[in-house]
């Protein structure tokens, strides 16, 4: 789980280890693989009309951007404990909300940085409009947040439990 404040990103040990492993892979084996792809495409001839070369260079650029992002994130990371199971909405919590107090119209999500997003559960950043609206609220509280169209929506906090993978 992550929480960013004053340029510090708080991570669980598990999240830190996962991101560090990704950085090590991208900095080592993945760099060697992309270099081989570029070299193989370069040997095919005219680079101006070589789709494989341009695709490999684009992939390399994206990979290097991710390396820079991870390096910066991990350099500012502080490893901490998961949040307490106290029903307060904060980063690292799986939150269930009901829209407009309708118990049938619910959403369950992980409140965390996009860096910790997974396919298993939808993730909302604490800095998102919904994240900002529900942050610090307790189970049973009602929260309001601004929609992209400028209107406001109301949600009721039904549950907030620490995330476990």
Q: What is the pLDDT of residues 103-119, one digit of tens each?
A: 788 999 988 876 666 66
Considering only residues 31 and 50, tell me which one the structure prediction assigns the higher pLDDT.
Answer: 31
Q: What is the pLDDT of residue 32?
A: 93
84 pLDDT tier (thresholds 50, 70, 90): confident
Q: Write down all domains in the chain, each with its CATH number in brackets.
A: 2-80 (1.10.287.180), 93-162 (3.10.50.30)
Which H or E element spans position 21? Answer: helix 13-27
Strand-strand pairing, 106-111 and 2-5: unpaired
Contact indicator for 23, 74 with CB cutoff of 8 Å: yes
Averaged pLDDT, 137-150: 93
Contact indicator for 10, 21 with CB cutoff of 8 Å: no
**pTM, to two decimals:** 0.60
Percentage of the chain beyond pLDDT 70 is 87
97 pLDDT tier (thresholds 50, 70, 90): very high
Q: Is pLDDT at 2 greater than 70 in this prediction? A: no
> Mean pLDDT across the chain, nearest whole number?
84
Averaged pLDDT, 84-106: 86
pLDDT tens-digit map of 40-61:
888 887 777 788 888 999 999 9
**Cα 165 to Cα 118: distance, rounded to the nearest angstrom:** 10
Of the candidates 85, 148, 72, the residue with the CA atom closest to the CA atom of residue 115: 72
Which H or E element spans position 68? Answer: helix 51-75
Q: Is pLDDT at 5 greater than 50 in this prediction? A: no
Q: What is the pLDDT of residue 92?
A: 82
Measure the CA dihedral 9/13/19/21, to 10°: 150
């Amino acid at each position: 789980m992550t929480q960013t404040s004053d340029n510090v990103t708080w991570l669980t040990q598990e999240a830190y280890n996962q991101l560090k492993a990704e950085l090590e892979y991208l900095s080592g084996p993945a760099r060697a693989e992309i270099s081989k792809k570029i070299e193989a495409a370069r040997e095919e001839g005219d680079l101006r009309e070589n789709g494989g070369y341009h695709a490999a260079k684009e992939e390399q650029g994206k990979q290097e951007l991710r390396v820079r992002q991870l390096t910066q994130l991990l350099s500012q990371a502080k490893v901490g404990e998961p949040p307490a199971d106290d029903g307060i909405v904060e980063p690292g919590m799986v939150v269930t909300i009901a829209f407009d107090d309708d118990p049938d119209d619910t959403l369950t999500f992980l409140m965390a940085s996009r860096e910790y997003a997974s396919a298993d559960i939808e993730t909302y950043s604490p800095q998102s409009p919904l994240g900002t609206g529900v942050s610090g609220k307790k189970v049973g509280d009602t929260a309001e947040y601004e929609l992209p169209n400028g209107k406001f929506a109301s949600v009721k906090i039904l549950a907030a439990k620490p995330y476990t993978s």
